[in-house]
Structure 1
Amino acid sequence: MTLTHAPAPESGPIEIPDSAATTPTTAKPAGVSHTAHARRWWALVIIAMTQLVVVLDGTIINIALPSAQIELGLSNTERQWVVTSYVLVFGALLLLGGRIADTWGRKRSFMLGMIGFGAVSLYGGLAQNALDLLLARGLQGLFAALLAPAALALLTVAFPFGRERNIAFAVFGAVAGSGAAVGLLLGGFLTEYTSWRWCLLVNIVFVLIGVIVGAFVLSESKSEGKARLDIWGAITVTLGLGALVYGFTLAEEGWMHVDTIGFLVLGVILLAVFVLIETKVAHPLLPMRVVMHSVRAGAYFVQAVMGAVLIGSTMYLAFHLQLVLGMSPLLAGLASVVMTVITILVVPMVTKLLPVTGPRPMMVFGPFIAAVGMFWMTFITADGSYVVQVMPGLILVGLGVGVTLVPLQNLALVGVAPSDAGSASAMVNVAMQIGGSIGLSVFALAAASASLTAAENGAGDLAVQASGYSAVFLSAGIALVLAGIVSVFCVRGKKEDLLPSHG
């Protein structure tokens, strides 16, 4: 069986010797050396580590924010933008990064992205003021936008089909699902025992490992032929996404303000122009065939919601644990890691079930399970118990995330031609990062509105904060319900057509 709507490959991608269509699913093909076969699994390790870095960097700073705010004198708005600047720039530039990886070379893009990411992490770790930190976070997003789609495209061509592909994407999905919570745990540990600055400096360790090992185990691949970069498409989609997210951020001050309406309208217009450009140019930044496939479109929407949950809501969870329940940074990180542990435990079981049930049941029930967990946490109070009010919700969210993310990565790339691997891979991360940045803005609005209402009703300071965080969890739960509903209608087709494996 081949990928949906894609012809069976006659030969493998460039320098991927074991991707012939006749390859058995459980053994490497004849003529492929043991060394070459083993290199793919080392490549998976490096690619998974890369995904961990780009995901955890969306949250690792969360627990450190109170300490960074005091040392650098950040305002509350600047504090939120420490997170938003990273995920916004990351998401807005991912499509361009994916196309660069396709045309310039995926390994080459991966290596440049890693080196740049390490350099600006050093800059951020040495930040002396708010501008330094915000600029460093934005530049991290820029290099992550080059790094992440190259990494996922390398994984796609290294494991083109079969049981090994399912295993590879299960590992990748588990890392993507757990990275946000790992960031909270690591951020808590580093903040408490070293300094908040090490939440950025620790990236240098990952970068050194990735560059050194990646130089030996990764094989270069890129699209066949020469393709020109879609500059106007890159400009319109970057400015459009940026304007849209910034408009949501301004909505915290009021939906009817001229600035809010102006940026939201501008974002929509620019994105509409982008779509028009993509239908006209010879070498589009995002071929419309990538997103017009109903299954992939549904997967991208679910990924966006997961981004909002794993990036946006976890920031407010960190605030609740520290600012309301009074936990130390390390204890707050440990309290959050419950979600990660459940995800890690669930993934192997879900991976074994995937060929039996197919992706659709998981894509439907996973978001609903996570939604129940979010709704549970809406009952938090200023004097409540973590064990009663928070931990059961985190267990359910971890379960739902694990169930959802195992099939999600495969569905987001199902039926994609090798020449579109970079763009489709970029869309996976675009959805997550833009979902996260919009989620941060929407959650900030929900928290502010609920906190204002609680304050007007005479609630104390801690109760006001708890009311705001409760509204965030309610919003996240509603978004997860919508993701489950979208999966019902979009993730359709025979089980075999949705599983890129043979036999």
Structure 2
Amino acid sequence: MTTTTLSAPPRADTGSPRVRPGIALVTLLTCQLMIILDVTVMNVALPRIRADLDFSPTGLSWVMDAYTLVFGGLLLLGGRAGDLFGRKRLFLAGTVVFTVASLAGGLAPTAGWLIAARVAQGIGGAMAAPNTLALLTTTFTEPKARIRVLALFSGMSSAGFAVGLLLGGLLTEWLSWRSVLFINVPFGLVVVALALRYLPDAPRRPAALDLPGAVTATASVGALVYGFISAATDGWGNLTTALSLSAGVVLLLAFLVVERRAAAPLLPLHLFADRSRAAAYANMFLGPMAGMSMFFFLTQYLQEVRGMSALATGFAFLPTAVLMFAIIRLIPRLLPRFGPKPLTVIGTLAMLAGLLLLTRLTTDSGYFPLLLAAMVLMGCGIGLAFSPLNVIIMATVPPAEAGAAGGALQTLQQTGGALGLAILVTVFGTAARSASGSPAQVLVSGTTAAFAAAAVIAVLTFLVALTFPKVRQPN
């Protein structure tokens, strides 16, 4: 069996930390997993959080939305700030903020305190996440090593959604909901300690931060994500939804105008000039819209229709998580041999097949065979469809723009997930309101309608995957 040797650049000066590629890789992937877990780890704990802190039914959604809104809105700014002020510095600061906010959230005595802690977590995550990806691409410069670590990063990001549900179920069932936040503290401290000693930092570039771009980018993404959240809770005809989405579109157009004229743009638009990279960015937006909603809807189905506990619900997603992790081990070998197109095409087809199976759910559907088959297809599909995208986007990005490219990638991923969930929750609500029968039958009607809409989005993802050129990555 052949192996790929991880390589890192030599130290820039005698004052730089000693670069140990293996430790640097573990440090960066651990931070990424910690940040991604917080997107889903709270899901299975929400009922107990509501009871403990006396949340209202509508207010409870902000436990998730406060993190998503701030995290998605600040990713571009966090990536570009790392390019200009030092990626290691932003990575460390973001990890510290995230860790302290996790501790504060676990200690929260009131609902408002917990929401404020989740906002702080989003700020820390937006500082650390894009610089995690940028540090990977600038630390591992040899082509084979870069493909391997980017595939690992992608797989860690995708599998983190499923692992979050499993871990959340375990901690909530055995300890308490507070433990899903406390668990971040030891991991955060270890990441900071290792990063201080072993992570290199690319030289900073003497340039002014594109403040007009930062303001319009953050405001546009924030307005769009808030609009999507409002649509999911209040419907597309709600005034707040319409105003937020309209403002987001106007601010997005203003951002593009600013970036075309800026001397040092927050997001260099020429990153989208490459055909493969532009298609990968598109699928990084569409893929989460279709695939990541599975975790949200199936969690409700398993607990409310099938009567599973939080722990059993987490274990139900184990096949998906295991397959995602298995596939990331294969991507570094498959991508140089076949190129991105066959992998993304097969992956999106598998994801589509899994979603179509989920449209067959009934109140009597057992875990075997329908749900297990869908979990297997979704695990294979998400792993194959998403893992090559990070490689395609980041493999040829100039080092000076790695933070901006990584920030754009994660912004599209988070915004796509938020938009997808808003659309599918709206479809769910419309179908549920027109359904009749028991509460379980109504929920199943809404859930299967949502999965049918997700399958339509998966078809769009498949069509974009067909546009990838038939080229192979460098050996």
Matches within 5 A, 1:393-432: 393-432=374-413
- Choose the corresponding residue for 1:39, options 12, 20, 40: 20
Stretch moving more, 416-425 or 290-299: 290-299
Q: 1:69 to 1:27 in 2, by over 3 A?
A: closer
Aligned-partner residue type, residue 211 of structure 2: I
2:319 is matched with: 338
Aligned-partner residue type, residue 210 of structure 2: D
2:102 is matched with: 121
Matches within 5 A, 1:43-442: 43-224=24-205, 226-252=206-232, 253-309=234-290, 311-442=292-423
For residue 283 of structure 1, give the secondary structure of its aligned residue in structure 2: coil
Q: 1:42 to 1:179 in 2, by over 3 A?
A: same
1:5 is matched with: none
1:13 is matched with: none
Query: In the aligned structure 2, how far is the partner of 1:160 from the partner of 1:118?
Result: 29
Cα distance, 1:446 vs. partner? 1.6
Q: 1:265 to 1:123 in 2, by over 3 A?
A: same
Q: 1:463 to 1:75 in 2, by over 3 A?
A: farther
**CA deviation digits over 1:332-361, x for unaligned, max 9?**
000012101111222323332221111111
Cα distance, 1:410 vs. partner? 0.8
Query: In the aligned structure 2, how far is the partner of 1:247 from the partner of 1:402?
Result: 29
Cα distance, 1:29 vs. partner? 9.5
Task: Give yes or no for contact 1:55–1:176 (8 Å, CA) kept in 2.
Answer: yes
- Choose the corresponding residue for 2:441, options 439, 463, 469: 463
For residue 379 of structure 1, give the secondary structure of its aligned residue in structure 2: coil
Cα distance, 1:211 vs. partner? 0.6
Cα distance, 1:292 vs. partner? 3.5
Aligned-partner residue type, residue 238 of structure 1: T
Stretch moving more, 382-391 or 151-160: 382-391
**CA deviation digits over 1:12-54, x for unaligned, max 9?**
xxxxxxxxxxxxx85869999xx99970121011111111111
List runs of 5+ in structure 2 lacking aligned partners: none
For residue 222 of structure 2, give the secondary structure of its aligned residue in structure 1: helix
Aligned-partner residue type, residue 209 of structure 2: L
Aligned-partner residue type, residue 44 of structure 2: I
List runs of 5+ in structure 1 lacking aligned partners: 1-24
Query: In the aligned structure 2, how far is the partner of 1:333 from the partner of 1:30?
Result: 40
**CA deviation digits over 1:32-88, x for unaligned, max 9?**
9xx999701210111111111111110000111121122222233323332222122
Task: Give yes or no for contact 1:84–1:437 (8 Å, CA) kept in 2.
Answer: no
**TM-score scaled to structure 2, two decimals?**
0.93
Query: In the aligned structure 1, how far is the partner of 2:9 from the partner of 2:242?
Result: 61
Aligned-partner residue type, residue 223 of structure 2: A
Query: In the aligned structure 1, how far is the partner of 2:43 from the partner of 2:6?
Result: 43
Task: Give yes or no for contact 2:6–2:140 (8 Å, CA) kept in 1.
Answer: no
Count of residues in correspondence between the two structures = 467
Query: In the aligned structure 2, how far is the partner of 1:227 from the partner of 1:30?
Result: 24
Query: In the aligned structure 1, how far is the partner of 2:10 from the partner of 2:369?
Result: 58
Query: In the aligned structure 2, how far is the partner of 1:277 from the partner of 1:30?
Result: 35
Task: Give yes or no for contact 1:87–1:436 (8 Å, CA) kept in 2.
Answer: no
Superposed CA RMSD in Å reads: 2.2
4+ runs deviating over 4 angstroms: 25-32, 35-38
Query: In the aligned structure 2, how far is the partner of 1:443 from the partner of 1:127?
Result: 31
Task: Give yes or no for contact 1:101–1:109 (8 Å, CA) kept in 2.
Answer: yes
Q: 1:205 to 1:248 in 2, by over 3 A?
A: same
Query: In the aligned structure 1, how far is the partner of 2:8 from the partner of 2:440?
Result: 62
**CA deviation digits over 1:178-201, x for unaligned, max 9?**
110110000000000001111111
Stretch moving more, 69-78 or 477-486: 69-78
Q: 1:166 to 1:473 in 2, by over 3 A?
A: same
**CA deviation digits over 1:76-109, x for unaligned, max 9?**
3323332222122111100100011111111111
**CA deviation digits over 1:125-150, x for unaligned, max 9?**
12233322222212211110000111
Aligned-partner residue type, residue 20 of structure 2: R
Q: 1:27 to 1:153 in 2, by over 3 A?
A: closer
1:4 is matched with: none
Q: 1:70 to 1:29 in 2, by over 3 A?
A: closer
Query: In the aligned structure 2, how far is the partner of 1:220 from the partner of 1:350?
Result: 27
Aligned-partner residue type, residue 120 of structure 2: L
Query: In the aligned structure 1, how far is the partner of 2:142 from the partner of 2:48?
Result: 46
Query: In the aligned structure 2, how far is the partner of 1:341 from the partner of 1:279?
Result: 43
Query: In the aligned structure 1, how far is the partner of 2:51 from the partner of 2:9?
Result: 61
2:469 is matched with: 492
Q: 1:228 to 1:335 in 2, by over 3 A?
A: same
**TM-score scaled to structure 1, two decimals?**
0.88
Percentage of matched positions with identical amino acids: 36
**CA deviation digits over 1:283-323, x for unaligned, max 9?**
11111112333322221222223433564331222111112
Query: In the aligned structure 2, how far is the partner of 1:124 from the partner of 1:223?
Result: 34
- Residue 456 of structure 2 is aligned to residue 475 of structure 1: no
1:12 is matched with: none
Query: In the aligned structure 1, how far is the partner of 2:97 from the partner of 2:9?
Result: 39
